[in-house]
């Protein structure tokens, strides 16, 4: 395609973290803070905060019977 021919940068921000990497960050957060209530705005690790928010949303989709990337294994 046209964009690939000009070496278009698809991810302009920080590199994507895997689900497992984010989960490890969450475990460290829980160990340090004693809970997993990561705020939506968490400057020390905003990528993890975004991931936590996404997990909450996908879980709600699953609970409401809608299509969701959330799996029983991840719950």
Confidence at residue 2, expressed as pLDDT on a 0 to 100 scale: 87
Residue-level pLDDT at 23? 96
In whole numbers, what is the pLDDT of the chain averaged over residues?
89
Question: Helix 19-33 to helix 46-63 angle, to the nearest 10 degrees?
Answer: 100
The mean pLDDT value for 25-44 works out to 97
Nearest-CA neighbor of 49 among 57, 58, 59, 39? 39
């Amino acid at each position: 395609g046209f964009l690939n021919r000009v070496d278009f940068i698809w991810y302009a921000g920080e590199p994507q973290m895997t689900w497992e990497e984010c989960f490890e960050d969450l475990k460290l957060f829980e160990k340090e803070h004693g809970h997993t209530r990561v705020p939506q705005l968490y400057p020390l690790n905003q990528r993890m905060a975004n991931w936590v928010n996404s997990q909450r949303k996908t879980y709600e989709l699953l609970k409401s019977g809608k299509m969701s990337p959330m799996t029983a294994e991840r719950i």
